[in-house]
């Protein structure tokens, strides 16, 4: 089905963009393929971002329709995100680490011309969502191969379950919100299948952060779209789905139970620096939950000592040893290069300035989607789901804002949804 659907999608792109020329066809094709191949083909995400950047650079020298205040602020926040990285790196001493991370951080600057480009093409969001419809079954196929044929403990895709799980959760809720935005009967018929495929992929990923994020996203969608009477029914249905997931997927139940066991042990120890692993890990090691809590602890200690501009991107691992030597945290923290929480990672690497910019990057667009929700509920819902999802995933992982593949997904989808919503609001709503 995925190969046939991709061919059908390519035909529809050619047909629907005949009046826009080859530029539109290429851009729509790139957006369509981003969710289709991004998780299953290594370097597809970074390669796509590079191509979109090259295509968009001429936009810097063209006249554009007047940007709204919200668009100008959004683009300024993106530029500020990159600027804080540069300032922090220079203050703390530019090293090879900063040079290596530059290619990821500069994407927050290059998203500016990409945004200026996608806002010129009214169907950009449509084709990105159509790519999601095809991408969900592709991800499920890769997940099943990982688990059933390759006998991996979790579905990983081309990268890791830490990317596959959260992205599949976002796919499910984007598609649930896309139903009324899709005018093609072909793609509308595939949406329910794609949603189910995405949900199964989340379960097979074994990522607890993805489970938590999925519950948060479902709660947001239900609270936003259903009336009070329907909320009760939806709540009961959600409980049934969760119980079914525990029953049908041993991975979901085992990973969740283990998290609570570790959390209980961590909370009842007097000195976490001496807490040893007792949860299917080698002696002297912490379980994943206990280790995260210790990493969060040391991140706060580092921030207190470097509050304004942080210690610089990538320098977390160089700092934690000082606190281990003083007996303040468990030595396990030296085995990780970041604190597994995007907000704490920002506090450590870029200090208070970095945290403020990250919060602005998340919650300024979110506030716009919420304020203008009644003018275009469907596109607003896409943006809300996107931001709430990334904010939730960031509670248990640093990856959403330090890994290039995550950054590409965050920026390209946010830019496309934001431009689409601004366009519909200007037109007077849906």
Residues 6 or more apart whose Cβ sits within 8 Å of residue 113: 53, 56, 57, 59, 60
11: Cβ contacts below 8 Å, ≥ 6 apart: none
Tens of pLDDT, residues 197-246:
999 999 999 898 898 899 899 989 888 886 655 555 555 555 655 555 55
Residue 291 has a pLDDT of 80
User: Treating both helix axes as pointing N-terminal to C-terminal, what angle do 342-371 and 404-426 enclose, rounded to 10 degrees?
Assistant: 10
| pLDDT, greater one: 179 or 108 | 108
287-290 long-range contacts (CB < 8 A, ≥24 apart) are 287/258, 287/262, 288/262, 289/258, 289/259, 289/262, 289/263, 290/262, 290/263, 290/265, 290/266, 290/330, 290/332
* 267: confidence class by pLDDT, cuts 50, 70, 90: low
Tell me which residue of 214, 263, 207, 206 sits closest to 242, measured CA to CA: 214
Q: Where are the domains of the chain?
A: 2-226+369-426
Question: pTM of the full predicted structure?
Answer: 0.86
Going from the C-alpha of 299 to that of each of 81, 98, 312, 323, the distances in angstroms are 20, 19, 13, 10
Identify whether the C-beta of residue 286 lies closer than 8 Å to the C-beta of residue 263: no
Please compute the mean of the pLDDT values over residues 182-188 and round it to a whole number: 88
Confidence (pLDDT) at 255: 53
Residue 328: strand, helix, or coil: coil
- The mean pLDDT of 103-127, rounded to a whole number, is 96
Tokens 């500020």 identify what position?
Answer: 80
């Amino acid at each position: 089905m995925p190969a046939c659907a991709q061919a059908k999608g390519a035909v529809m792109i050619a047909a629907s963009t005949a009046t826009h020329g080859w530029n539109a066809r290429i851009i729509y094709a790139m957006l369509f393929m981003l969710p289709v191949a991004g998780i299953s083909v290594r370097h597809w995400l970074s390669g796509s971002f590079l191509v979109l950047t090259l295509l968009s650079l001429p936009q810097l020298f063209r006249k554009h329709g007047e940007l709204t205040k919200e668009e100008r602020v959004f683009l300024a926040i993106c530029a500020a995100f990159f600027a804080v990285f540069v300032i922090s790196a220079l203050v703390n001493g530019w090293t090879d680490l900063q040079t290596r991370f530059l290619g990821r951080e500069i994407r927050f600057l290059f998203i500016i011309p990409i945004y200026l480009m996608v806002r010129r093409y009214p169907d950009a969001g449509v084709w990105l969502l159509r790519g999601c419809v095809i991408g969900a079954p592709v991800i499920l196929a890769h997940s099943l191969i990982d688990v059933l044929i390759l006998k991996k403990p979790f579905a990983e895709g081309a990268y890791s379950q830490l990317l596959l799980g959260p992205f599949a959760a976002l796919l499910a809720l984007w598609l649930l919100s896309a139903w009324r935005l899709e005018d093609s009967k072909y793609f509308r018929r595939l949406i329910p299948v794609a949603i189910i495929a995405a949900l199964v992929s989340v379960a097979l990923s074994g990522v607890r952060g993805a489970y938590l994020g999925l519950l948060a996203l479902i709660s947001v969608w239900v609270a936003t779209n259903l009336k009070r009477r329907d909320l009760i029914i939806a709540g009961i249905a959600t409980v049934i789905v969760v119980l079914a997931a525990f029953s049908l997927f041993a991975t979901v139940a085992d990973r969740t139970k283990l998290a609570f066991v570790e959390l209980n042990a961590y909370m009842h120890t007097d000195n976490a620096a001496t807490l040893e692993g007792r949860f299917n890990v080698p002696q002297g090691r912490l379980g994943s939950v206990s280790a995260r809590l210790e990493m969060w602890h040391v991140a706060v200690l580092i921030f207190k000592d470097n509050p304004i501009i942080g210690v610089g991107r990538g320098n977390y691992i160089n700092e934690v040893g000082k606190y281990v030597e003083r007996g303040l945290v468990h030595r396990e923290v030296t085995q990780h290069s970041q604190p597994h929480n995007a907000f704490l990672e920002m506090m450590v690497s870029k200090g208070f300035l970095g945290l403020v910019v990250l919060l602005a990057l998340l919650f300024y667009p979110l506030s716009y989607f919420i304020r203008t929700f009644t003018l275009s509920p469907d596109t607003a819902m896409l943006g809300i789901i996107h931001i709430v999802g990334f904010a939730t995933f960031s509670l248990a992982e640093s990856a959403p804002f330090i890994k290039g593949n995550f950054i590409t997904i965050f920026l390209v989808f946010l830019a496309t949804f934001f431009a689409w919503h601004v366009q519909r609001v200007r037109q007077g709503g849906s």
